[in-house]
Amino acid sequence: MRIAIDAMGGDNAPRTTVEGALLAAREWSDVQIILVGDEAQIAAFMPTGSVPANVTVHHASDVIAADDEPVRAVRRKKDASMVVAGRLIREGAADAMISAGNTGALMTTGLLIVGRIDGIERPALAPMLPTMDDSGVLALDLGAYMDASPHNLLQYAVMGSIYRNKVHGLQKPRVGLLNVGTEAMKGNELTKQAYPLLEQAPIHFIGNVEARDVLQGACDVLVCDGFVGNILLKSMEGTAGTIFSVLKTEFTRSFFSKLAAAVLKPGLVAFKKKMDYNEHGAAPLLGIEGLVLKSHGSSDANAIKNAVRQARIALASRLVEAISTETGRKRDGKE
Amino acid sequence: MRIAIDAMGGDNAPRTTVEGALLAAREWSDVQIILVGDEAQIAAFMPTGSVPANVTVHHASDVIAADDEPVRAVRRKKDASMVVAGRLIREGAADAMISAGNTGALMTTGLLIVGRIDGIERPALAPMLPTMDDSGVLALDLGAYMDASPHNLLQYAVMGSIYRNKVHGLQKPRVGLLNVGTEAMKGNELTKQAYPLLEQAPIHFIGNVEARDVLQGACDVLVCDGFVGNILLKSMEGTAGTIFSVLKTEFTRSFFSKLAAAVLKPGLVAFKKKMDYNEHGAAPLLGIEGLVLKSHGSSDANAIKNAVRQARIALASRLVEAISTETGRKRDGKE
């Protein structure tokens, strides 16, 4: 398995990406890691004389910045590390790529450089959101497309279901449609039209799921358009962040409250960590003719190593081929 | 000021509605309260011989249940307390109505019985959501319409701004558009098209507001369609509810944690109450030719009294007339 890592993407790249790559290469000998980026900068973090044989460097002279306009950056910076990593997949020199860089640019790289799976109208970014039962929920789309058609939601549902089956081993992932009520006819025009499509899809559709039940683990795959998904995620983050900051204030109010806080802290720190969706691995960009994983910008070496673990499982399970087959099957069925 | 109260609406009606009406009538002698509902049931909660002179009962033989289908119920149950209260406004026998009953039916009563303000395409339900600085944010629409047009959002913005000015005395309410980023061109088709309309409206439009900043009091009026507003509200409620239930578990984990919890409890209970949007008064149904206020179904007598307080202020400030004038002005300007 050849996994290209965008060495220059992320807040602390290339230190974290190189260190993560080395950790992964040492752990899994069946993996060939290709670090894509500026040779000199990468070399600075490589241990002299003891680089594992399954790590190579592929030079790329340019970098896409966090605040670059995605489409323009991907089109113009042809030698940017992210774009070059995408090209390695396109040309058959890599099977997967991982980047902690600019999200919009990575989606554009997936779309324009790697290419969509035939029949997929729109790729979807699918991070895992935390749930209280620790199993998590794959939510899609949480990418750059704000509006979606009912048919887009159908494809998100099928791709998400295949991902949870192949990569997480769930036999029958419960797919839910994010909505304002559980009854079938609830919702806006989009969800009302998507509902019957999801009912007929080759998935285990459990119906509408309300926003308040997502955290409780109401489903394994949550389907929504990018706008609503973003509102959901950000309001969960905002509320949790606000409550934790109030707790912090309460905890430091007096001598006794500081003492009390010390008792409660371990449990709450663990809980806070659980609520942090950045802890829940890299997000796959589904619907692309190759495996593309988005790691969080603040990823440390361990997060990069974990993304390699995810890529390994996805490649071994032939995720992309499964999505492609399912889409092809449906397309052929229609014709 | 003549305020009709749907005596039969709410979880604990007519006890709470009658008790609340009595509290309000005793506090404000300039208010004439009309309790609408079953005479016999209302009488059971009236104090013998000491009913304030400014409380009267208007008999209505029927009731709309919490699970009645709204439109059908309003059309068929012509003598339901809620419908009769609406008719009192329509016929000029009351200036305002308050109901803690079926929300959808109240919106339908507003629309079909009381009637829309000329020029308003769609009335909006506008509850106050809590913010950390205690000032709260009026969010609309959080009613029964799931989809909205850019022009609907414009009207929501104008009505919400007038409400906060007239009823809460804000000189220059900050109106924000709920969106996925603060830049002007962010969002879905709806918000992108609404943005320039809001820029040109006679309001203090501060631009896009992200879901995570709502709780921090980023704006005084938050504009969104009903679907997205519901997702926002329910994910905030769901997250807060989940965190508080985890805290409860942590607090009872051991002898020491119980001790610690006792120290922290007062501050946290106050905070939890602050986060509960049901504590933040009745929600006006804006865009109706009369004042219609929705109290929460679980309202106690005090909440009903507070709704009367709200109605008094809105009537004194001539809220409905102000919305009507603004809408008329714009309509005339267009023609």
Q: Do A234 and B242 touch (CB under 8 A)?
A: no
Query: Residue A225 has what pLDDT?
Result: 97
For residues B135 and B5, what is the distance between their CA atoms, to the nearest angstrom? 27
pLDDT of A334 strictly over 60: no
Query: Residue B177 has what pLDDT?
Result: 98
Beta strands in A153-259 (DSSP E): 174-179, 204-210, 221-223
> What is the reported pTM?
0.92
Taking only the tens place, the pLDDT of each residue in B187-246 is 999 999 999 999 999 999 999 999 999 999 999 999 999 999 999 999 999 998 888 888
Q: What percent of chain B has pLDDT over 70?
A: 97
Across B4-23, average pLDDT: 96
Which residues of chain A neighbour B125 with C-beta distances below 8 Å?
A: none
Nearest CA of chain A to the CA of B116: how many Å? 22
Distances (CA, A) of A14 to A45, A54, A292, A305, A311: 8, 18, 19, 14, 20
Nearest CA in chain A to B228: A228
Average pLDDT, chain B: 93
pLDDT of A335 strictly over 50: no
For residues A210 and A155, what is the distance between their CA atoms, to the nearest angstrom? 21
Comparison of pLDDT for B47 and B80, the residue scoring more: B80
Give the residue carrying structure tokens 């007598």.
Answer: B301
Query: Residue B334 has what pLDDT?
Result: 47
Residue A269 touches chain B, beta carbons under 8 Å? no
- ipTM score here? 0.90
Q: Do A267 and B250 touch (CB under 8 A)?
A: yes
Nearest CA of chain A to the CA of B18: how many Å? 32
Q: Do B231 and A178 touch (CB under 8 A)?
A: yes
Range of weakest confidence among A205-219, B46-60, B258-272: B258-272
Taking only the tens place, the pLDDT of each residue in B79-132 is 999 999 999 999 999 999 999 999 999 999 999 999 999 999 999 999 999 898
pLDDT of A329 strictly over 70: no
How many other C-beta atoms can be found within 10 angstroms of the C-beta atom of residue A320?
24
Taking only the tens place, the pLDDT of each residue in A298-320 is 999 999 999 999 999 999 999 99
Across B125-147, average pLDDT: 92
Class of domain B1-120+287-319: alpha beta
Across A236-252, average pLDDT: 86
Query: Residue A330 has what pLDDT?
Result: 61
Query: Residue B221 has what pLDDT?
Result: 98
- B335 — pLDDT class (breaks 50, 70, 90): very low
Taking only the tens place, the pLDDT of each residue in B276-294 is 766 678 999 999 999 999 9
Could you say which of B211, B243, B275 has the minimum Cβ distance to residue A231? B211
Q: Do B261 and A260 touch (CB under 8 A)?
A: yes
Domain boundaries of chain A, sorted by first residue: 1-120+287-319, 126-277
Could you say which of A212, A240, A256 has the minimum Cβ distance to residue B263? A256
Chain B interface test: which of A235, A245, A252, A274 (most B C-beta within 10 Å):
A235
In this structure, which topology does domain A126-277 adopt according to CATH?
Isopropylmalate Dehydrogenase (3.40.718)
Which residues of chain A neighbour B187 with C-beta distances below 8 Å?
A: 146, 227
Nearest CA in chain B to A190: B147
Which residues of chain A neighbour B215 with C-beta distances below 8 Å?
A: 238-239, 242
pLDDT of A332 strictly over 70: no
Q: Are A291 and A86 in contact (CB under 8 A)?
A: no
**Which of B186, B165, B141 is CA-nearest to residue B323?**
B165
For residues A213 and A196, what is the distance between their CA atoms, to the nearest angstrom? 22
Residues in chain A: 335
Tokens of A57: 């460097």
pLDDT of B255 strictly over 90: no
Range of weakest confidence among A179-183, A258-262, B141-145, B211-215: A258-262
Residues 143-172 on A with a CB inside 8 Å of B are 146-147
Chain A interface test: which of B69, B182, B222, B243 (most A C-beta within 10 Å):
B243
Range of weakest confidence among A35-44, A102-111, B267-276: B267-276
pLDDT of B161 strictly over 80: yes
pLDDT of B248 strictly over 90: no
Which residues of chain B neighbour A149 with C-beta distances below 8 Å?
A: none
Nearest CA in chain B to A230: B180
Query: Residue A331 has what pLDDT?
Result: 58
Which residues of chain B neighbour A214 with C-beta distances below 8 Å?
A: 235, 238
Query: Residue B216 has what pLDDT?
Result: 92
Q: Do domains A1-120+287-319 and A126-277 have the same CATH topology?
A: yes
Could you say which of A146, A187, A263 has the minimum Cβ distance to residue B180? A146
Could you say which of A188, A211, A227 has the minimum Cβ distance to residue B180? A227
pLDDT of B55 strictly over 60: yes
Distances (CA, A) of B89 to A293, B1, B42, B96, B238: 60, 12, 21, 6, 37
Residues 176-215 on A with a CB inside 8 Å of B are 178, 180, 187-189, 191, 210-215
